[in-house]
Amino acid sequence: MPEPELLIPRSLADVDLRRVPVLFSDVLVIGSGVAGISAAVEAAERGAVALVAKGDLSKTNTEFAQGGVAAPLGPDDSPDRHAEDTLAAGAGLCEEAVVRRVTAGAGEAIERLRSWGTRFDESDGRLALSREGGHARPRIVHAGDRTGLEIERALIDRARRTERIETHERTFVLDLVRNGDGRCGGALAWSEGTGFLLFAAGATVLATGGAGQVYRETTNPEIATGDGLAFAFRAGARVRDLEFVQFHPTLLYIAGAARVLISEIVRGAGAVLRDRGGVAFMKEVHPDAELAPRDVVSRAIQRRMVETGDTHVLLDLRGIPGASGRFPGLAAVCADFDLDLARDPIPVRPGAHYWVGGIAVDPDGRTDVPGLFACGEVASSGLHGANRLGSNSLLEGLVLGRAAGAAAAEERTAPKRPEADLRVPGRRTPTSGTDLNETDLLYSMKSLLGRLVGVERTEEGLVETREMLRFWSRYALTRSFAGPRGWELANMLTVANLLTESALARRESRGVHFREDHPARDDAGWLRHFDLLPRSVRTGWLAPAVAAGPVPGRIAAD
């Protein structure tokens, strides 16, 4: 008997747009991290911008980025050398032209941030540069271990001082809307104060970040629920390479503590990974030991945990002079749990960190939906390939966010009220006395993905995951939710399904996608992207279709 097909509703809310208040702008930017604000500021030089944030403007993945911005500014460095390291990490799937464009724009991006008031660490009057795993040279520009927080502060200040940017905080975007000609015409949103409202725009830029919250262990904040990926797919956009999810090797793992990322800069400064017996195990795994690529370190930790039967390993900073002063953020968090960096190794384990794949875009952020652009973590730009090189993500947001904002503003049409009806025929509402326990379902999904679609994967585990996700989806995605909690659950279920389909399709190991049953990289058969396209099943309902995308070097929207 064939497995039931996965059905995804075209929209989350049954809303007649003719009855919803509308706000007009030239460009709508959804997301207020480094990519979103970079896009908004650039677009505002050409027109009026509505900048929409799910929470407060500052509550983004950017705020939690501790490491820094990769920029080839050292005396023995260059954009070409930075590009070579990026291409090597990407395992054959980078788009070389995009890589070289981004690394060439790094110097200008850093100077732009400094002109906006960003305060980076300096040494002897020059920018201090650190080294991270995968980088052959020190090229990480940082502000202690709170670089993202400092960059976000400067970006928000710039956005608030830009007259043609109107900000809308604590506003949940449910779905994109399309005009009669198929062009993206803006988005349907909801806020507690106003209820449903429609943002009508001449062009729309998505910068909604990743979806780390589909996993139980993640460095991402609570808002990272894959909303942009889900509603772009529902609107007809193709998504690419979602099997590539980067896990950060060192996530603080203490019962009762928030899962805090411990920056790679800490290992770059000399911190050592040890098992519970005190053995420094990375030297036997890779020549670069603790500075090996993140996927290598994550798998080494995972395997050591399995071998020792532990839930974590230890990160030892005791050999770093003045560690608490060098890493005050980490020291403060650890002090809350009576851990002293000079005395105590820190318990760590891998956690979902960055979605390398995303919405397929061209070098200026165009998707295959007219009028819709994407940038930053939600996009698959070609920069990262199969594995993101550390600290390239903030750089991507700065360079390609700016490019997407410019392209969107230049190619916008006159905004108009879309006439689309988002009501989905056949959607169910609860009919029994027992309502859906959203918390229980979400916890079960997170645990399932962590076990079977995590650092290492198998065909058997992925098939089991697909069956379970489709079972949950048959009763969760076909019902009507009344608020953000349910809408987030629907988005996370959608993204989890797409991730699992992509991971099943790629029967090899490449970059951050590791299949225990196919452990080798296979360039002869699998050196290509994988796309998922929304196929219309019937009015109001979609299903994903897997297709082989272009080989690297030929990225283009239809």
Same domain, 218 and 344: no
Task: Provide the CATH number for the domain around residue 314.
Answer: 3.90.700.10
Mark whether 294 is an active-site residue: yes
Q: Is residue 215 part of a domain?
A: yes
Q: pLDDT tens for residues 335-392?
A: 999 999 999 999 999 999 999 999 999 999 999 999 999 999 999 999 999 999 989 9
H/E stretch holding 151 reads: helix 147-160
Same domain, 75 and 158: yes
Q: Could you give the CA distance from residue 127 to residue 142 in angstroms, rounded to a whole number?
A: 9
Please say if the pLDDT value at position 526 is more than 50. Answer: yes
Q: Is residue 522 part of a domain?
A: no
Q: Which domain holds residue 221?
A: 17-244+356-410
Same domain, 151 and 187: yes
pLDDT for the residue numbered 207: 98
Q: pLDDT tens for residues 72-99?
A: 999 999 999 999 999 999 999 999 999 9
Please say if the pLDDT value at position 556 is more than 50. Answer: no
Q: pLDDT tens for residues 103-155?
A: 999 999 999 999 999 999 988 889 999 888 788 899 999 887 778 889 999 99
With 0.85 as the threshold, say if the pTM is over it: yes
Contact between 552 and 505 (Cβ < 8 Å): no
Which of 394, 31, 91, 403 minimizes the C-alpha distance to 241? Answer: 91
Average per-residue pLDDT for the chain: 91
Q: Is residue 457 part of a domain?
A: no
Query: Within 13 A of 208's CA, how many CA atoms are on the CB side?
Result: 31
Q: pLDDT tens for residues 17-40?
A: 888 999 999 999 999 999 999 999
Q: Could you give the CA distance from residue 311 to residue 487 in angstroms, rounded to a whole number?
A: 32
Same domain, 137 and 191: yes
The count of domains in the chain is: 2
Same domain, 51 and 68: yes
Q: Is residue 188 part of a domain?
A: yes
Helix, strand, coil share (%) of the chain residues, nearest 5: 35, 20, 45
pLDDT for the residue numbered 390: 84
Please report, rounded to a whole number, the percentage of residues in the chain having pLDDT higher than 90.
75
Helix (H, G, I), strand (E, B) or coil at 493: helix
Same domain, 62 and 119: yes
Task: Provide the CATH number for the domain around residue 51.
Answer: 3.50.50.60
Q: Is residue 64 part of a domain?
A: yes
Same domain, 208 and 223: yes
Q: Is residue 208 part of a domain?
A: yes
Q: Is residue 148 part of a domain?
A: yes
Q: Is residue 428 part of a domain?
A: no
Where is the domain boundary, 352, 367, 401?
Answer: 352
pLDDT for the residue numbered 64: 63
Same domain, 157 and 236: yes
Tokens of 451: 């076990």
Same domain, 21 and 157: yes
Where is the domain boundary, 322, 337, 352?
Answer: 352
Where is the domain boundary, 307, 322, 352?
Answer: 352
Alpha helices per DSSP H over 414-483: 438-452, 459-476
Q: Give me the catalytic one of 146, 294, 412, 457.
A: 294
Strands (E), 497-539: 530-538
Same domain, 254 and 113: no
pLDDT for the residue numbered 86: 96
Same domain, 77 and 147: yes
H/E stretch holding 485 reads: helix 484-505
Whole-angstrom Cα Rg for the chain: 22
Q: Give the model's confidence band at 557: pLDDT under 50 very low, under 70 low, under 90 confident, else very high.
A: very low
Same domain, 206 and 344: no
